[in-house]
Chains A and B, each alone.
Chain A
Amino acid sequence: MTEVAVVAFAQAPNVRRTHGTTNGVEMLVPIFDEVYTRTGLSKADIGFWCSGSSDYLAGRAFSFISAVDAIGAFPPIHESHVEMDAAWALYEAWLKIRMGEVDTALVYGFGKSSAGDLRRVLSLQLDPYTVAPLWPDSVSIAALQARLGLESGRWTEKDLAEVAARSRRDATGNPRAQFGGETDVAALLDADPVADPLRRHDIAPVTDGAAVIVLASAERARDLADRPAVIGGIEHRIDTPSLGARDLTTSPSTRLAGEAVGTDGVEVAELHAPFTHQELIVRDELGLGDAVRINPSGGTLTGNPMFSAGLARIGEAAQRILDGEATRTLGHATSGPALQQNLVTVLERG
């Protein structure tokens, strides 16, 4: 079957609030231009388009339709959409190329998280009979998960603050990160909790943003990038939606997806962890040792554009190969509450 490679990645600046619309056009047009310039492709060369976004962020039905304006969809295009992080749109596009239907695909995700009250909006992804009617917000659910790990000795508050400090330090090298800088772990731990036991630094910021990845068959990819990042494996798994029925300090779906793609020899991993303790869970389930460089971009804790943050992790992992800095990297994306659903991809120098 056809091998598939990432040939270009771009993302909009991660910002707390854009003046743009919820249809994302203002964020998407410039980053589409970036990947067209880098690959020499034009819209007419793209065989398949696939996006990830959510009407719940926009507060409007079929909001993703307006985003198609950013493409210039005439003559008509071959297009699809997932109401999930665009990492899952990338999976669909990967299948299209694997099956030989097309040899190029453009995948994009976007979201204006600031339009509503994000943590409250996200409670509507929960079970609509017994959980969502209580409006438990995303931060509180993550806090329940964090406490289980703290009280079982699985991690300490200092472990969590160290994840935050490393992320912020690394983000200083990422011009598109929402914030970054040197921080002192002790100073972070001095802050009061905002959702006990979570402190501000444990929680990813609210972020407006967008990201785009261009995929091509391995054969086509050689003409589009000097060092295409070949997708060596991509798998996704899901755990039960019943929060109280699983051990929240583990993520079996991440472990199974990781085992299916094989994580040995990975040099760099970009993990989609909107809370500090979730990075520790994912890292452990994927068997990533101390030698693996985690989130050199600063990760989701320094910019969490809903519905494109997972795609951006794959993009950042691919970029290390496109730039010639690494030969085997890993991108992870999550969806749902408390790491319910997870996608893992391994990228390799072609």
Chain B
Amino acid sequence: MPEQPLSAPLDIGFDYTRSVGPVLGRFMTALAQRRVLGVRGSDGRVHVPPVEYDPGTAEPLDELVDVAAEGTVVSWSWTADPLPGQPVQRPFAWALIRLDGADTALLHAVDTGGEPTSVRSGQRVRIRWADEPVGHIRDIAYFVPVTDPPADAAPTAPAPPAATSPEPGTGDDTASVDTVITPVHLNYTHSASLEESRYLRALADGRLLGQRCPACGKVYIPPRGACPTCGVPTTDEVELPDTGIVTTFCIVNVPFLGQRIKPPYVGAYILLDGADIPFLHLVLGCEVSEVRMGMRVRAAWKPRDEWSTTLENIAHFEPTGEADAPYASYAHHL
């Protein structure tokens, strides 16, 4: 079996918080009150959802008008396996829906109780509102057929959080919505390159593995796969010692979320003996004021039973006490 690169799940997420401006703000505010607004375009057509500028003339638009919570399916497609985040979490139809009073179509989900034969173009559908509208497009939970709607409520994706709360004690549900929050979560499989994978596997054995560019002779750790100077694949492997020098460094004085060491401490560029590119690591084991450019350091490894495929196997670097490297010996690595 050929050598396989290392890979791991990469799950990222962020709550996108967006201000909505005057046109969409009024649309979102109305949704929180279980009403739908459209905007009248330059040609008199009513756009739902509203657009801020006319698609034809680019004129700014601001005449908002009420439209119905009921309309007609213009086109539809069937989703047998809903994806995470989609409004209905059982088989459903995506549809372009022209609400009564609107001239353009809104894209949303139609729930037919999971039944694909119960949706068609020209069908009359109406909004099923979310239990607790917050001023977000998801306040429209989904649409259902006007005739013979499903008997049960559809399972739905988690509702977005409210961006603004009513004034405490006022019971005010007419406060205008100026922000929407949309959580976005994406899932990837991140692959290391073959060169990085060899480097990471070597780390699990307590070894430091770099690569030499066949064209310019420079040694890279971590290996890059291609020499960033020459653009040629790097093939020759080089095992490096766990000793080197500090080329440059900074003293971290500022606390931040997730910080694992109490400030002040030193983050430094470490250039291993025999390498041509430094990497970032910690320098501990001395006063921060003693750290200097050219200082000789050695890796402080974690206990062997904690090693895995990561540079975190090296807890930090610490001074060896040897004489500093002369500036001229590393000036070209700065």
Contacts and interface: CB of A to CB of B under 8 A. Distances in A.
Contact of B79 (A29, A131, A140, A145): A140
Given A121-B186, A143-B94, A245-B104, A26 B225 contact: yes
Contacts of A29: 226, 231-233
B224 interface: yes
A116 interface: yes
B182 A132 contact: yes
A80 interface: no
B191 interface: yes
Interface in A195-245: 195-198, 240, 242-245
Interface in B165-184: 180, 182, 184
A21 interface: yes
Contacts of B4: 19
B78 interface: yes
Contact of A115 (B74, B85, B190): B190
Interface in B39-88: 47-49, 51, 55, 74-80, 83-87
A331 B168 CA distance: 60
Q: How large is the interface on A (under 10, 10 to 19, 20 to 34, 35 or more residues)?
A: 35 or more
B106 interface: yes
Contacts of B109: 134
A25 B186 CA distance: 23
A198 B77 contact: yes
Interface string B188-228: 11111110100000000000000000000000000011111
A147 B121 contact: yes
Interface stretch (A68-76, A262-270, A298-306, A313-321): A68-76
Given A20-B5, A130-B106, A144-B96, 14 more contacts: A25-B224, A59-B12, A74-B230, A115-B10, A128-B16, A129-B18, A131-B49, A134-B108, A135-B84, A193-B78, A196-B78, A244-B104, A245-B51, A245-B55
Interface of A: 19-22, 25-26, 29, 32, 43, 56, 58-60, 68-74, 114-117, 119-121, 124, 127-137, 140-141, 143-148, 151, 193-198, 240, 242-246, 248
Interface of B: 4-5, 10, 12, 16, 18, 20, 24, 27, 47-49, 51, 55, 74-80, 83-87, 94-96, 98, 104-109, 116, 121, 136-138, 157, 160, 180, 182, 184, 186-194, 196, 224-233
* Those 5 A-B pairs whose CB atoms lie nearest each other, nearest first: A72-B231, A143-B77, A244-B105, A240-B55, A196-B78
